[in-house]
Amino acid sequence: MSVRDLLRGFGLKVGPTTPKTLEGRVRELVENHGTLSLIADALLSARAALCLEFRTIEKRLLAIARADNRVRCLMTTPGVGALVALTFSAAIDDPARFRSSRMVGAHFGLTPRKYQSGETDVTGRISKIGDHEVRMVLYEAANVMLTRPVKGSALKRWALAVAKRAGMRKAKVALARKLAVVLHKMMRSGEAFSLTGRMASAA
C-alpha cells in the first residue's frame, strides 16, 4: 500500500496485480523516474525482506500445528487454518473449563448484549468481552467459509440463510459464534469436522 500511495501521488497507477507481479509492475512504472526509482527500490527491498520473514514464521506455525493432534483436528474445519486453530486451542486450553460448548461464544464476546427491565427487552450488539484475538480469528474463519467454495456444508447453508434474513455482516458474526461452539465440541470429543454436522473420528 505504501508503494501504491507513493506512485499515485505522481499520477502513476499500479492497477490490479498479484503478489508475484507487483514488483515488476512497479519497476516498469518508475523506470524513467530517477529519484522515484530509488525510493521504489528501497520499498520493494523492504517488502521482499518482510515477505521472507513472514514465510519463515508461517513455516514455524505449520510445524507447531502438525505436532499437535488437537490443532490438526480443528484444522479439518473449512476456513480454519493453522493460525486460527492454534489461537483457539491456546485460549481454550482445557475444554473441561466450560460446562457447555454454548458458553464458549459468550466467553469470547460473540453473543448479543441484553437489557431487560420491566416491559423492556432490548437485544444489542455483541458484547466484545474476552479475548480479542480469538474473536478476530473466528470472524476471519467465518468470512473464509462464507466467501469461498465449501460444498455440502450444513454449517455454511445455515449461515447463508442467516445472511438472507439479516445481512452478510451479521451472518459472519453468527457463524463465528457457531464455529466457537463447534470447535470446542471437537476439542472435547477429539472428532474431526463433518460437513453434515455429525462429527467423525479424526484420522
Read off the pLDDT of residues 50-104 as tens digits, 9 standing for 90 and up: 999 999 999 999 999 999 999 999 999 988 999 999 999 999 999 999 888 988 9
- Decide if 105 contacts 181 (C-beta within 8 A): yes
Buried-state track 174-198, b at ≥16 Cβ within 10 A, e below 16? bbbbbbbbbbbbbbeeebbbbbeee
**Would you say residue 18 has pLDDT above 70?**
yes
Q: Check whether 23 has a pLDDT greater than 80.
A: yes
Could you give phi then psi for residue 52, rounded to 5 degrees? -65, -45
pLDDT at 203 over 50: no
Dist CA 70 CA 78 (whole Å): 16
Question: In Å, how far are 11, 28, 32, 191 from 4, measured between CA atoms?
Answer: 10, 13, 17, 46
pLDDT confidence tier of residue 186, bands split at 50, 70 and 90 = very high
Quick check: 122 pLDDT over 50? Answer: no
Q: What is the rounded distance in angstroms from the CA atom of residue 83 to the CA atom of residue 59?
A: 11
Percent of the chain with pLDDT over 70: 89
